[in-house]
Amino acid sequence: GVMTIRGCAYAGSKGVVWGPVKDMVHISHGPVGCGQYSWSQRRNYYVGTTGIDTFVTMQFTSDFQEKDIVFGGDKKLEKIIDEIEDLFPLSGGISVQSECPIGLIGDDIEAVSRKKAKEHEKTIVPVRCEGFRGVSQSLGHHIANDAIRDWVFDKDDVDFESGPYDVNVVGDYNIGGDAWASRILLEEIGLRVVGNWSGDATLAEIERAPKAKLNLIHCYRSMNYICRHMEEKYGIAW
C-alpha cells in the first residue's frame, strides 16, 4: 500500500471492514509487508478464544515471492485455503484481501474462491482491494461493502426468526469496547441488536443483516454503501 499517513484501499478493506469480523480468517494475499504492517494495529476488541473461534489478532499471509509474481499465485492461494481449513476447521469462513501485485499480475482470486468454497462448503470471499485502486482507505471501504453484497448476502439460507424491533449497528468497530456499550443502551430501550458489525462480529451477523428492520449507521464513511444497498433491495431504512 501507499506508506503515507493515510491508508490505501487494502487498508480500508482489511483493516477496517473485514479484519474485525472475528470468526473468519482474513488472508493478506500478496507480499508479507502489507499484512505485517496492518497486523494488530487497531484495538478491535472481541469475545472468543483466539485460534479456535476468533482470529482477529492472528496474521495470515501468502507471503508472495518473486516466483509467485512470475508464475502467478493462484495455486499458492488454493494451498493456503486448504491449510487454513486443516488447521482451523471451526472458522466461519475466509476472506482474501488482495494486495497490489495480485491485481497487477491478474490472478483470478474469484475462481479460486468459488472452487474452494464448494470444496470445503464454507464462505470464501475474494476482495479486490489492491492498494493502488485508491490512495486512501475510503475506496477500500466501498470495495469491501460490495464484496458483502456480492459474496455474503442471499448466498445461504439463513435460519433466523426476525422480530419487529430488530436493528443492525453498522460501522462500529469496537475500538476499545464502545460497541458493547452502545448495544447495552439500545437493548435497554427495547431494541434487539441482531448484528453489530464489523466490531466483535460473526459472519452469521452479516448474513442475517437483511432481516433487520433498521440499520443504525455509526461510521458513515465506511458503511454507507451497504446501507444504501439494503435500503434499495430490502427496504431497510437507515
Annotated active-site residue 141? The verdict is: yes
12-49 pLDDT, tens per residue?
999 899 999 999 999 999 999 888 877 766 788 999 99
Give the residues across from 54 on adjacent strands. 50
| pLDDT confidence bin for 226, thresholds 50/70/90 | very high
Give the residues across from 197 on adjacent strands. 170
Annotated active-site residue 111? The verdict is: no
CA distance 56 to 200: 9
User: Could you give all domains of the chain from N- to C-terminal order, each with its CATH number?
Assistant: 9-152 (3.40.50.1980), 166-234 (3.40.50.1980)
Of 155, 168, 156, the C-alpha closest to 226 is 168
Q: Say whether pLDDT at 4 is over 60.
A: no
Kindly give the pairing relationship between strand 24-29 and strand 166-172.
unpaired
Least confident of 15-19, 40-44, 82-86, 155-159: 40-44
Give the residues across from 195 on adjacent strands. 168
Annotated active-site residue 128? The verdict is: no
- Residue 87 grid coordinates: 488447521
| pLDDT confidence bin for 53, thresholds 50/70/90 | very high
User: What's the pLDDT at 2?
Assistant: 47
CA distance 16 to 83: 25
88-126 pLDDT, tens per residue?
999 999 999 999 999 999 899 999 999 999 999 999 999
Annotated active-site residue 229? The verdict is: no
Could you give the angle at the alpha carbon of 27 between the alpha carbons of 168 and 48, nearest 5°? Answer: 50
8 A C-beta contact, residue 203 and residue 123: yes
Looking at the chain, the whole-number percentage of residues with pLDDT higher than 90 is 81
CA distance 91 to 113: 16
Exactly one of 6, 42, 114, 229 is catalytic; which is it?
42
8 A C-beta contact, residue 169 and residue 179: yes
CA distance 160 to 152: 15
Phi, psi of 7 (to 5 degrees): -85, -175
Exactly one of 29, 128, 133, 141 is catalytic; which is it?
141
User: What's the pLDDT at 5?
Assistant: 59
Q: For the chain, give the mean pLDDT.
A: 92
Exactly one of 11, 34, 117, 147 is catalytic; which is it?
11
User: DSSP E strands: which ranges in 52-191?
Assistant: 60-61, 93-98, 123-127, 166-172
